[in-house]
Amino acid sequence: MLMAVVAVYAQQPENEKSMGPSRLQHFRQHGRGMMAKKLNFSDQQKEQLKNINGDYQQKITDLKKHDEITVKEFKTQMIALHKEHRDQLQALLTPEQKDQLAKMKEKRMEMAKVNAGAKAEKMKIKLGLSDAQASQLKEMHSSTFTKIKSIHADNVLTPDQKHEQIKSLVLQQKEQLKTILTTAQLEQLQQMRAQHKRMDFSK
């Protein structure tokens, strides 16, 4: 719960980890479909989007069949495919749609900051944090938010690479928490997380 910023900005949601390839592809296609709807794509754009995504997925499938290439070569080609795909999607948008997309991203970022602040205040009360601890957590969240924003802005990274880097930040935050919270507060936090998971599971 203290990872509010990370939870909002992770490139792939946690439940993607349990998805099979077909479900994961459906999830991503659904996301692109929602974006096309919000940006009011024309029928021509929808058809072009379908062709672009289909070609992209086919190239990735073909690349994965090349067992003879090295890991470095595979990553290099994946980055190239991702850049090509991103450029094609950008070219598909009108200037108005690009502006709308930028505003949507900015709004998500602002909402993430608001949600993170609200959750941090809630945790301060529930865990009985001192002002010094609350200040340290706020600084940690701010630093993480800035790093995640930088990762998302890095057009060289593939979605999977961005996800891995953000995942690494989550682990760093968990370790940093141990230097801020007391043993009792950490135990209480674990109990709260376990209760939160049970509530989600029961929904």
Question: Do the beta carbons of residue 177 and residue 10 sit within 8 Å?
Answer: no
Q: What is the mean pLDDT of residues 135-157?
A: 84
The domain limits of the chain are: 20-93, 95-203
Quote the pLDDT of residue 200: 54
CA distance 10 to 70: 28
Q: Give yes or no for residue 135 having a pLDDT over 80.
A: yes
* 45 compared with 31, residue with greater pLDDT: 45
pLDDT tens per residue, range 6-41? 343 343 334 433 444 444 344 455 556 677 788 889
Q: Give yes or no for residue 55 having a pLDDT over 60.
A: yes
Q: What is the mean pLDDT of residues 36-62?
A: 90
CA distance 2 to 16: 21
Instruction: List the one residue out of 89, 106, 96, 109 whose CA is nearest residue 40.
Output: 96
Quote the pLDDT of residue 2: 37
> What's the mean pLDDT when you consider all of the chain?
78
pLDDT tens per residue, range 125-134? 888 889 898 8
Q: Would residue 50 be called left, alpha or beta, if left means φ above 0 and alpha means ψ between -120 and 50 degrees? A: alpha
Quote the pLDDT of residue 157: 80
CA distance 56 to 104: 25
Q: What is the pTM of this model?
A: 0.50
Q: Give yes or no for residue 46 having a pLDDT over 70.
A: yes
Q: Give yes or no for residue 136 having a pLDDT over 70.
A: yes
Quote the pLDDT of residue 62: 92
Quote the pLDDT of residue 10: 40
